[in-house]
Amino acid sequence: MKKIICTVLLAFITLSIGETAESVPLKWGSRILEQNAEWYGASDAQTAADNVIRFQSNVGAWPKNTDLIARISDEEIARTQSGGNANTIDNGATTTPIRFLALVSNATGNPNYRDAVLRGLDYLFAAQYPNGGFPQFFPLRQGYYTHITYNDDAMVNVLELLRDVAQSRAPFEFVDVARRVRARDAVNRGIDVILKTQIRQVDKPTGWCAQHDEVTLKPAWARAYEPPSLSGNESVGLVRFLMSIDTPSPEVVAAIEGAVTWLRSIPIRGQRLEAVKREDGRTDRFLVSDPGAPLLWARFYELETNRPLYTDRDSKPHYDFAEIGIERRSGYHYHGTWPSSLLERDYPAWRASLAAR
């Protein structure tokens, strides 16, 4: 009797789990690239892919901060394609749709998905500056959007995708030879501009700004609270990309070593980032003294001095985080542990791999 009860109970639990998993709605985001291989050939994936194609603009790009699998009207689609979030590489826009459609194309053989991927790749080729950099939006928009955009790994996402295309990695085996050649050239020019934009102090390579002027290659302003500076965040993504190069040149190795040395020299020690929930629902943040706190890095460092730099919406420089208003303290990440895993795990592994070659 106990055996029968246990068997029935196990079947009920299994059925319940299955029903729960199936009832969870599919959401657009980077996790859509992490499904099992069989799913990309299923009807749900194809329905999602059909909808993603609807959002592709006439220049081949996609909007950011948009649910690309939401079922909305053609009129709403048209507004999205021409709105303020359209035609960008920011926040995973364009690169994530291309990767998703390539997965579904490989799984189904549907030429519509393949053609949308190729149009997306052509958009990226057109968007790249001759010097190798990528703007945040293309066609170009007036303002800081024209700068070479390392912010939030926008350009790194593009270069990683184009590298996969150039090397005919899955799921991009279907891309033609001509586009693979263009992708290889785009990646090489991207590496070149990364090396050229690395900020030097007393002729030593350090980190990068989140955005660089597309003509002078100098660190540049973005939003009012994002000053020309050295980035404790974006520099990490750029180092990881450079470490992923199969056969790094001496210049690439020197860039990595310089950036790692710099990241090791600038952490905030003995302070902890404290988060406090306010009555109005916002999460306020403060730095508090804590000798045992893990290492912390600032988002921005002053170019000449490496001092943590804070700017509010008035763009005035501050060196004390407490001087920043609550609106930005609660709404922007001025601190993080971004370099931790790079310095503790990834860089040593890269050094060992390099030595073994």
3-state secondary structure of 274: strand
Q: Bridge-partner residues for 287, per DSSP?
A: 273
Residues marked active site are found at 91, 223
Question: Cα–Cα–Cα angle for 164, 217, 126, nearest 5°?
Answer: 45
User: Following DSSP, what letter does each residue of 282-332 receive, concatenated?
Assistant: -EEEEEEE-TTPPPBEESEE-TTT--B-EE-TT--EES-GGGS-HHHHHHS
- Distance, in Å, from the CA atom of 61 to the CA atom of 39, rounded to the nearest integer, reads 25
Look-up of token digits 């790994």: 153
> Which one, of 209, 131, 127, 138, lies nearest residue 161 by Cα?
127
- Distance, in Å, from the CA atom of 164 to the CA atom of 11, rounded to the nearest integer, reads 43
The DSSP secondary-structure symbol of 246 reads S
Residue 177: in which H helix or E strand, if any? helix 177-197
3-state secondary structure of 74: helix
Q: In the structure encoding, which two tokens stand for residue 145, read together?
A: 């959007």
